[in-house]
């Protein structure tokens, strides 16, 4: 039977498809063996059962074909918890945690109503609700399967201050809001990156927007202006080269205090503005 040390050599086969082949194999082994990465390092001589070996080799071949590790595992870590994931949504990424941090910084911990638009797995909404129990958070997605997945994750985390809604952007949200947060589709339909890496296995509807990736950002900006309380905030995650364009959209709509900040890689990947009316 295949030993752990031998199974880890499978990372060689992943170099063409992964930036982290060793980690990928370790995560697959942890999933199959129901053990930690520390266990793998401490017990390289342990052999898998025949059933475990068959399951591991099947997952490895799917990863070699390019399928994301998150889809193979059925879950992915985000913020302080694990989320169920599937092919109906984007895989939560570490850079999106920067958006959560900025939202927590912009809005105080006092009672407030917040919407996360295009919620997917529910990652942003659930992270905000975890950190701010006094907030009422709406998690919205147009895709029925995505909304069902977000609800599954909400129930798993036991968060009663989150309401999952199915619909287009702010249309199903019945309340005025103190903040709107969104990681919407923002990739240009002609972008060659759509044929590379994990995004090949993620839904195009969650990735691509017309007008060079800016159409949905523009729509959300217009809707949020109508539904935000005065002094409310709108916060976007967007493409690495879109900060100037998103700032322009927000200013044209009337938002004040418009600014951008960087993600973990040092790219301007989030932009926000505030609805400020002189009353």
Give pLDDT tens digits for 134-185: 999 999 999 999 999 999 999 999 999 999 999 999 999 988 999 999 999 8
Q: Residue 212 and residue 111: Cα distance in Å, rounded?
A: 37
Backbone angles phi, psi at 89, to 5 degrees: -140, 170
| Average confidence (pLDDT) over 212-237 | 95
Percent of the chain with pLDDT over 70: 95
Name the band, by pLDDT with cuts 50, 70 and 90, for residue 189: confident
So what's the pLDDT on residue 257? 97
Q: How confident is the model at residue 194 (pLDDT cuts 50, 70, 90)?
A: low
Question: Which pLDDT score is estimated for 212?
Answer: 79
DSSP assignment of 118-155, as one string? S-TTTHHHHHHHHH-TTEEEEEEESSHHHHHHHHHHHH
Query: For 114-131, how does the pLDDT look when each residue is reduced to its tens digit (9 = 90+)?
Result: 999 999 999 999 999 999
Domains of the chain: 4-66 (1.10.8.10), 75-274 (3.40.50.150)
pLDDT given at position 12: 78
Q: What is the pLDDT of residue 171?
A: 96
Q: What's the CA gap between 211 and 186, in Å, rounded?
A: 9
Q: What is the pLDDT of residues 225-265, one digit of tens each?
A: 999 999 999 999 999 999 999 999 999 999 999 999 999 88
Residue 19 predicted with pLDDT over 90: no
How many CB atoms neighbour CB 179 within 10 A? Answer: 24
Predicted local distance difference test score (pLDDT) of residue 49: 92
């Amino acid at each position: 039977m295949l030993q752990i040390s031998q199974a880890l050599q499978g990372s060689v086969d992943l170099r063409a498809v992964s930036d982290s082949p060793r980690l990928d194999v370790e995560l697959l082994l942890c999933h199959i063996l129901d053990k930690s990465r520390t266990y793998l390092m401490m017990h390289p001589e342990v052999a898998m059962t025949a059933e475990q070996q068959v399951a591991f080799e099947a997952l490895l071949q799917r990863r070699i074909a390019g399928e994301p590790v998150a889809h193979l595992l059925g879950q992915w870590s985000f913020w302080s918890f694990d989320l169920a994931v599937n092919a109906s949504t984007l895989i939560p990424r570490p850079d999106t945690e920067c958006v959560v941090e900025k939202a927590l910084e912009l809005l105080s911990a006092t009672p407030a109503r917040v919407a996360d638009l295009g919620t997917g797995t529910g990652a942003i909404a659930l992270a905000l609700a975890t950190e701010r129990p006094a907030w009422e958070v709406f998690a919205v997605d147009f895709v029925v399967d995505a909304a069902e997945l977000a609800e599954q994750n909400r129930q798993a985390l036991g968060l009663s201050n989150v309401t999952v809604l199915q619909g287009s952007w702010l249309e199903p949200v019945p309340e005025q809001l103190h903040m709107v947060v969104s990681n919407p589709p923002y990739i240009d339909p002609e972008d060659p990156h759509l044929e590379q890496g994990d995004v090949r296995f993620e839904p195009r509807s969650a990735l691509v927007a017309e007008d060079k990736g800016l159409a949905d950002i523009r729509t959300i900006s217009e809707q949020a202006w109508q539904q935000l309380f005065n002094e409310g905030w709108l916060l976007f995650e967007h493409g690495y080269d879109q900060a100037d364009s998103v700032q322009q959209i927000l200013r044209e709509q009337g938002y004040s205090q418009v600014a951008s900040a960087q993600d973990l890689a040092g790219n301007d990947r989030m932009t926000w503005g505030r609805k400020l009316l002189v009353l």
